[in-house]
Amino acid sequence: MVNASSSNNAFVRRALLTINPAITLRAADSLDLRAHAKVSAVVGVPLRQLQQRRDVVAFATSAPMAALKGLLELLALAPLDEVIEHLGDHAESPTYEQLAKAIDELLTSGSSIDDAVAVLAYAISESFPAAPHCRRLFEEREVFALAELPEIVAPTVLASPREVNPAIREQRRARREEEKRRKKPNSLTRPSRPTRSKIVPPSSHPSAKSHVDVTPAPPSRRRLLFTPLELSRFDVAHPLVGAVLLVEVPFDALDPDLPDVSSKERPALVVAASGDELLLRPIYSNPSTTRSIFQPWRRVGLDHVSYIDDVRVVVANVDPHVQVGQLTVSEWNALS
């Protein structure tokens, strides 16, 4: 049974351990990772190692989470579209029964258990509104049982020191003494005088430069980690990246007091964009386990202490944008 308190990252690793390794390797092999400028090393290197070494267990248990999520997203992409189609108007925030029915229809239509596992684990990893229902399906249906993560025990016994032959030890000591003797200055030899570098005064001619004006290069904006699908879908150098906009952000859970309201206008930081969509990190007035304090809240014009979420959301890129502010390079690089 899956513990409801298990971290989202653990679901990603366990799902990749559960899915048929042949399917996982086939998905990895479909990626073109040859010196791809848009794929960061933290994503590309582990995936290339998986392509070469064919060790899914090692990849699932030790690869960085960005690489794992990128591959899981690739596995879940097609079946997720089918589940969304089955959910219809309920796709944004389905009930447990609606999601369970959509998963059953997915399996009936010819998809495999592996497809369903990929969809459920991916929804949990991305904190979809239906994530609690996905956890419940893992708990209640044995057919979706996930493999347990192997325990990695660190060695507790130190290696015993290597024995050194006494004769070798004596030879080393003699060499050290000989080195000291050679380096010791001879009192009969006058040390050479240190040379002083010649200082050339600047020319009095108006065209001559008296010094070199070296202007430090401006700091560059730190690059975030993106999944392969995000990189293919968004431009990480879009002009809106770094802007704080007022946008309609969908709720991550249904409010029972306002069942007809599914989103709210709130500030959000643009981390990537395309002509049609924005990839955002929403900004909230209350903290949570996935949020950290948004340090420049006062400078960009927000009227209270605010918190930026780690979870990214996608909204439509609709003009005109209401821009609250723009992060400086140092503020961007300080984001957690």
pLDDT single digits (tens) 44-74: 888 989 999 999 999 999 998 888 998 999 9
For the chain, the domains span 8-144, 234-333
Average confidence score pLDDT of the chain: 82
Percent of the chain with pLDDT over 70: 80
CATH class of 234-333: mainly beta
Q: How far is CA 307 from CA 128, 252, 286, in A?
A: 19, 16, 6
Those residues whose C-beta lies under 8 Å from the C-beta of residue 233, and which sit 6 or more positions away, are: 274, 277
State the Cα–Cα distance between residues 209 and 196, nearest whole angstrom: 23
Whether the bond into 282 is cis, omega within 30 of 0: no
Confirm if 283 and 269 have CB atoms less than 8 A apart.
yes
Q: Give the amino acid at 161.
A: P
CA-based R_g, the chain, Å: 30
Ramachandran angles phi, psi of 113, nearest 5°? -60, -35
Token pair for 112: 């495999």
In sequence order, what are the beta bridge partners of 278? Answer: 273, 315
Cα 91–Cα 97–Cα 99 angle in degrees, nearest 5: 35
Calculate the CA 236 to chain-centre distance.
14
Q: Give the amino acid at 199.
A: I
Given the structure tokens 């904190």, which residue do they identify? 127
Reported as a single tens digit per residue, the pLDDT across 229-267 is: 889 999 999 999 999 999 988 887 666 666 677 788 899
Given the structure tokens 């990537």, which residue do they identify? 272
In sequence order, what are the beta bridge partners of 235? Answer: 273
Q: What is the pLDDT of residue 84?
A: 94
Within the chain, where are the H helices?
Answer: 8-18, 21-29, 41-53, 56-62, 65-87, 96-108, 113-125, 131-140, 166-183, 228-233, 329-333
Higher-pLDDT residue of 54 and 207 is: 54
What's the pLDDT band for 192 if we cut at 50, 70, 90?
low
State the Cα–Cα distance between residues 35 and 118, nearest whole angstrom: 28
Cα 315–Cα 318–Cα 324 angle in degrees, nearest 5: 85
Single out the residue of 259, 280, 262, 283 nearest to residue 271, CA to CA.
280
Q: What is the pLDDT of residue 328?
A: 92
Within 88-222, where are the H helices?
Answer: 96-108, 113-125, 131-140, 166-183
Confirm if 83 and 103 have CB atoms less than 8 A apart.
yes
**Rounded mean pLDDT, 204-216:** 54
Taking residue 84's Cβ as centre, other Cβ atoms within 10 Å add up to 15
For 35, left (φ over 0), alpha (ψ -120 to 50), or beta?
Answer: left
Q: How far is CA 336 from CA 28, 266, 327, in A?
A: 29, 20, 14
**Rounded mean pLDDT, 313-324:** 87
Those residues whose C-beta lies under 8 Å from the C-beta of residue 21, and which sit 6 or more positions away, are: 56
- What one-character-per-residue DSSP string does 193-205 give? PPP-PPPPPPP-S
Q: What is the pLDDT of residue 176?
A: 81
